[in-house]
Chain A
Amino acid sequence: MSAKPNEQFWIEHLMRRAGFGATPDELKHYKSLGYHGTLNELLHPESIDNSKLERTIAEQGFDFLDPTDLKRWWILRMAFGKRPLEEKMTLFWHGHFATSNRKVRNAYAMYLQNLLLRKYALGNFHDLLLAISQDPAMIIWLDNQQNRKGSPNENYGREIMELFTLGIGNYSEADIKAAARAFTGWQTRHTDFFFNARQHDYGVKTVLGTTGNLNGDDVVSLLARKPQTGKHLAKKLITYYAVDEPQASYVNEVAAVYQASGGNMRRTVEAVFKHPDFCSEKSYHAKIKSPCELVIGTIKTLQITKLDGDLPSALARMGQDLFEPPNVKGWDGGQAWISTDTMMERFNFATRIAQDKFDAMEGYFSPSQLIYRQGLTNAKDVVDYFLNLLVDADVPESTRQRLIFYVSTSGQSREGKKATNQELLDAKLRGLTHLIMSLPTYQLC
């Protein structure tokens, strides 16, 4: 860490985790609230006016029947919304109840599912689990449309236990078969939930030791209140927000809040951010940024206002194709984000953001204007400014020296002509931004 961590330092850390980073103006606002004030605001998104975002969205005229528009819509929300934790939780639930439009093939149903995940983002888990069990996209995704009396389809019955609630090892194959029967007849019709009573199995079933004429509602209630569910969710939330390999005590404390609050996600998530391990050396720059964190964080830090239409495919190449997670388990995250392939994509995203794509006014950002506004004149100050801005100056001294050397070395412009000072400065500042965004630390969250 660059200096002795103070409250402001941890607010920046909180925003990288509970949100997608923050713009300089947003940081000023959060720092005025203090850590607990910030956390409180994040946990109560309903109290924050988000109408500017909604107006921006309305101006874009998105077509929610178009899968690519849907992805752009969500990126816009993540980049310009004022309720970062709500958006970050929505992404968490998308990875948890991972549904892919590659199979659903109905962008509008995916859009409705996304609204549902946002609505319950910090709500009660039982309510969310029930709503997702009746969600048309989910019903198509895990084949519950074809789960009929007399010939049950086990797909939903299995994944609701293995992935959505208890976790593997906490149920038997017989539990899965019985749960599948309880969800028979839970279908979708015209992008709506439809209970097909003729296909529902009203017989007696035993799920996790409870016997009766159980239906889907009963199974949802049973699963939501099991302590294993709290533990499973606690571990996933902590690894999503705080550290990749949490101490058992951290998991147990968060799980206990889940249990005591009856599955209140606002309280459960609050416990993740209030735990001493969250604001600690164990957690600081200790996670790999997801592609969304990398891309949206860059947009915020550099205050980029122009979003390219192909950002969704850039995210996909980095391994996070929104609305198309790799499978029902969602994204593994952590180390799995990094391969030579995805690393190269990250480097190339850096190039693209840093490069002078349009003229200076219309580009992603203008580094020379930025340093002019900051009143910076020498290479050392410029390097320190960008290192602070982009990576919290969390780099070895050798890196800093090498960057200063890079910026100070004059190059040749194209066609062998000596560059004008202006051109050289622009090239070097853009190269510097590219190099800093390609550093190991820039991949850390």
Chain B
Amino acid sequence: MDISRRNFIKASLGVASFFLTPMEIMALAAQAANGQTRRAGSKVFVIVQLAGGNDGLNTVIPYGAGAYYQARRELGIEQAKVIALNGKLGLHPNMQPLADLYAQKKLAIVQGCGYANPSRSHFRSIEIWQTGDPAKIADTGWLGRYLDFAQLEGGKSSGILLPAVNVDPILPKTLSANKVTVPSVSSVYDFRFRVDPKYPEDRAQQLEAFNDIYSNFNLRRPYVDLLRKVGLDANAASDYLLKVVRNYKGNQQYPENTFGRGLKFIAQMITGGVSSQIYNISLQGFDTHANQTRTQAALLKQLADGLSAFQADMEAHGVGSDVIVMTFSEFGRRVSENGARGTDHGTAAPLFVMGSAVKGGIYGDHPSLTNLDDGDLKYKVDFRQVYATILDRWLQADSHQILGAKFDTLSFV
């Protein structure tokens, strides 16, 4: 179908036509299936949320600083075990695969990311990072606003069935948008419209009835429009995604855990030509108030093994320079360990940006370990500078419009 005509109809009605009819959806799915897919060379961005507040100081370790070992008498990682990046900084011992990518200049580390007057509440700080707005409670996410922007710009995500894909069970606020609804698909094999196996011939009739009913379901109740849209999307996307996954060819080994499987699914969608520009995934469990060492070590291993497998897979499929991955967490943790071999909620922390198109290296200054704000690090890089860099320099969007202010960009991409 003609996308520009759809936009014309929308414009002439003066309202955003929120719904696609089943025929439109099928036409779009067919488009995708027929190879009208992600344009070669168009940019993809994968965002990885480290949920719970990752301890930045034990991830990118200032092993050259005595103050680090003074604050971390139990949790400090011995110099000999740290994977040195330079004379001052090194990575956690379980992150060798990321150290290798750093050596290949495919990994950027942005130090000391945070914001003024930091919230130490998980939920408020997650919201701030996800919406990009520390001042007020925003309704949309920073990437959701990007998707809205891309739709207005015409064509980038307009009328597309899968403008972005969230592979977690719950849609994060990062992807809340006004004009675009982002689907969540955590397991493609569970994601199918099933009918009674005893009467398989009835499936077509049921699907037809379902689509007719949903397209005409006009009922004035809260949530009905949302349910209608999500129900239609779910059915339209399910057959298509299953096909994409079945067509994937590759022999990259991913770690056998939820995070590894999620990254593999993202790789299958990217290499299978799904039009999405944005993918979201999370790794849970970083809230290490007690007995941090083992928990964090296991998580960082999952992170490093998963990300390096993903990068290798992208390169093997010849799309390494189309994709970058960024990690973030709601906050780092207190400089001083607590009495439970753990750390309490803190503030600024480093984040990673990975990809063949990334200019590897270290960006931003390391916050002082002694000049603290009530026991916490003072941020050096406003996290919105990182967002602005991704938006302006990678996604070719207008960060000023999306973030509501102008932020200096960094040069990691």
Contacts and interface: CB of A to CB of B under 8 A. Distances in A.
6 contacts: A148-B339, A168-B123, A352-B194, A399-B217, A431-B205, A434-B196
B196 A356 contact: yes
Interface in A430-445: 430-431, 434-435, 438-441, 443-444
B224 A440 contact: yes
B211 to A, nearest CB: 10
B199 interface: yes
A317 interface: yes
A327 B190 contact: no
Interface stretch (B108-116, B311-319, B340-348, B403-411): B340-348
B218 A440 contact: no
Interface string B44-58: 000000011000000
Contacts of B206: 406, 431, 434-435
A409 B209 CA distance: 11
Interface string A282-298: 00011110000000000
Contact of B223 (A319, A411, A412, A444): A444
Interface residues on B, range: 35 or more
Contact of B209 (A288, A341, A402): A402
Interface residues on A, range: 35 or more
A148 B222 CA distance: 49
B122 to A, nearest CB: 7
A154 interface: yes
Interface in A410-427: 411-414, 427
A244 interface: yes
Interface in B176-223: 183-187, 190-202, 205-206, 209-210, 212-214, 216-219, 221-223
A355 B190 CA distance: 17
Contact of B166 (A339, A396, A398): A339
A143 interface: yes
B230 A348 contact: no
A405 B213 CA distance: 11
Given A143-B289, A440-B227, A441-B219, A319 B238 contact: no
Contacts of A288: 223, 227
Given A154-B345, A336-B170, A413 B199 contact: yes
A46 interface: no
A160 interface: no
A406 B234 contact: no
B209 A403 contact: yes
A113 B193 CA distance: 38
A312 B83 CA distance: 43
B171 A339 contact: yes
Interface in A274-321: 285-288, 317, 319
B224 A427 contact: no
Interface in A316-374: 317, 319, 326-329, 332, 335-336, 338-345, 347-348, 351-352, 354-356
Across the A-B interface, give the 10 residue pairs with the lowest CB-CB distance, nearest first: A151-B339, A146-B340, A339-B184, A340-B183, A355-B196, A440-B227, A143-B289, A340-B234, A427-B199, A406-B209
Contacts of A168: 121, 123-124
A440 B219 contact: yes
A435 B209 CA distance: 8
A381 B36 CA distance: 46
Contacts of B64: none
B219 A394 contact: yes
A193 to B, nearest CB: 18
Contact of B199 (A151, A154, A244, A411): A411
A432 B134 CA distance: 49
Interface of A: 142-143, 145-148, 150-155, 158, 162, 168, 173, 244, 285-288, 317, 319, 326-329, 332, 335-336, 338-345, 347-348, 351-352, 354-356, 394-396, 398-399, 402-403, 405-406, 409, 411-414, 427-428, 430-431, 434-435, 438-441, 443-444
Contacts of B223: 286-288, 335, 338, 440, 443-444
A343 B234 contact: yes
A154 B341 CA distance: 13
A150 B336 CA distance: 13
B377 interface: no
Given A147-B340, A319-B169, A355 B120 contact: no
A217 to B, nearest CB: 22
Contact of B342 (A143, A317, A336): A143
A73 to B, nearest CB: 24
B210 A438 contact: yes
B138 interface: no
B385 interface: no
A405 B210 CA distance: 12
Contacts of A151: 338-340
A285 B197 CA distance: 32
A413 B209 CA distance: 18
B212 A402 contact: yes
Contact of A396 (B210, B216, B231, B342): B216
A431 B289 contact: no
A344 B193 contact: yes
Contacts of A443: 223, 227
